[in-house]
Amino acid sequence: MRQPAAAAQELNDYIRAFQYSRAILTGIELDVFGAIGNGASAEEVAQRVGADARATEMLLNALAALGIIEKRNGVFLNTEVSSQQLTGEARLALMHTVHLWPRWSTLTECVRAGTAVRHEEIGERGEDWTEAFIAAMHRNALERAPVVVDSVGAAGVRRMLDIGGGSGAYSIAFAQANPELHADILDLPSVAPIAERHIARAGLSGRVKTRVGDLRRDDYGAGYDLVFISAICHMLGPEENVDMLKKSFAALNAGGRIVIQDFILEKDKTAPLIAAIFALNMLVGTERGSSYSEDEYTDWLQKTGFGEVRKIRLPGPTDLMVGRKL
């Protein structure tokens, strides 16, 4: 739903929101929530995270003022939400958002230049960056996969290709829904071992495989009933997307389906809010990426030969675009 025009107070809140966000991100980065454990003084937290005691107390006070943690008689305590969402594996996924901060600081320069000014391909980033990125994707995917599989259906699919499949969560969910289904996950050399860990944990190493490759340069092979492309189109420019869809068409059997999951903008591109803001996330992080509209996806799919093109609205932030090789 479209946002109403911002009132003066709301505008001021938006302008200052980065200060709240930065305080929480620093808490995550330093792992103060893990250090609080079952309750700790500012001095104890500072010692555990290797930070200054005075500054740590200022940070913890601000986090308590925001309601992220509590303070009772000088002792800081996690809330149910902070202990569930800001510690351990959940914290690892949130480190991806911490890593986005330096890029977002270049937004003004990026708007001037028309592209990311500090862009590096995911394969060139450090291991910490990649682990946190894929953990964040995995966390979303675990939530989204049942909805996606339910909506797309796994029946009749014997071979699927998951382009840029990340942690493998979607391929795993499809394979769990259909014991006849075999999936190939095409991803970068730095990511394939992470997917293999998840596949092994799910006991699906026999049917879900990784294929190391480059979705921009490599062909995708042949004989697939389903090509699944989740959270990939937004990191590419329009021409690169058309190229990816052409190669997907070639990889499908007659009657096979393509399923794209992404943030999909409405016609005038000002809603949904999450998709419009995410376009900026792609501006600061990629050379040509953006969020795209239903009209753009429809045009690309139709011109690469797909029929029965339509959008499937899902509950939550992302939708599907589907087509069939007739």
Ligand X SMILES: C[S@@+](CC[C@H](N)C(=O)[O-])C[C@H]1O[C@@H](n2cnc3c(N)ncnc32)[C@H](O)[C@@H]1O
Enumerate residues 224-263 that contact ligand X by CB under 6 A. 230-232
Q: Which is nearer to ligand X, 60 or 141 (CB)?
A: 141
How many other C-beta atoms lie within 10 A of the C-beta of residue 299? 15
- Which of 28, 46, 92, 166 touches ligand X by CB under 6 A? 166
| Triad 314, 317, 320: Cα angle to 5° | 45
State which H helix or E strand residue 60 sits in: helix 53-65
* Least spacing, CB of residue 60 vs ligand X, in Å: 33
Answer yes or no whether residue 289 interacts with ligand X by CB under 6 A. no
Least distance from ligand X to the Cβ atom of residue 197, Å: 14
Q: State the minimum distance, in angstroms, from the CB of residue 160 to ligand X.
A: 12
Per CB under 6 A, which region of 4-12, 43-51, 57-65, 159-167 contacts ligand X? 159-167
**Long-range own/partner contacts, residues 293-297 (CB < 8 A, 24 or more apart):** 293/264, 293/265, 293/266, 293/267, 293/269, 294/264, 294/265, 294/266, 294/267, 294/321, 295/267, 296/238, 297/233, 297/260, 297/264, 297/321
Closest CA to 142 of 173, 109, 99, 104: 173
- Beta-carbon contacts of 131 under 8 Å, excluding residues fewer than 6 positions away, are 92, 194
**Closest CB to ligand X among residues 158, 216:** 216
Do the Cβ atoms of 95 and 64 come closer than 8 Å? no
Task: Identify which of residues 220 and 306 has a Cβ nearer to ligand X in the complex.
Answer: 220
Nearer to ligand X, 135 or 252 (CB): 135
State residue 185 phi and psi, 5-degree precision: -105, 115
What Cα–Cα distance (Å) separates residue 305 from each residue in 161, 228, 246, 258, 301? 18, 17, 8, 11, 7
> Which of 216, 303, 310, 313 contacts ligand X by CB under 6 A?
216
Considering the complex, what minimum distance in angstroms separates the CB of residue 165 from ligand X?
A: 5
**Token pair recorded at residue 25:** 């991100």
Interface with ligand X (CB under 6 A), residue from 76, 116, 132, 187 = 187
- Least distance (Å) between residue 217 CB and ligand X: 8
41 binds ligand X (CB under 6 A): no
Say whether residue 188 binds ligand X (CB under 6 A).
yes
In the complex, the smallest distance separating the C-beta of residue 278 from ligand X, rounded to whole angstroms, is: 11
Taking CB under 6 A as the binding criterion, the range among 47-55, 99-107, 214-222, 286-294 that sits at the site for ligand X is 214-222
> By CB under 6 A, is residue 290 in contact with ligand X?
no
User: Pairing state of beta strands 252-262 and 319-324?
Assistant: antiparallel
Nearer to ligand X, 41 or 318 (CB): 318
Q: Which residue number, 166 or 323, has a Cβ lying nearer to ligand X?
A: 166
285 binds ligand X (CB under 6 A): no
**Beta pairing class for 182-187 and 208-212:** parallel
Q: Does 141 bind ligand X (CB under 6 A)?
A: yes
What is the largest distance, in Å, between two alpha-carbon atoms of the chain?
Answer: 69
Q: Give dist(CA 244, CA 248) in Å, integer.
A: 6
122: contact with ligand X by CB under 6 A = yes
By the criterion CB under 6 A, which residues form the site for ligand X? Answer: 122, 137, 141, 164-166, 186-188, 191, 214-216, 230-232
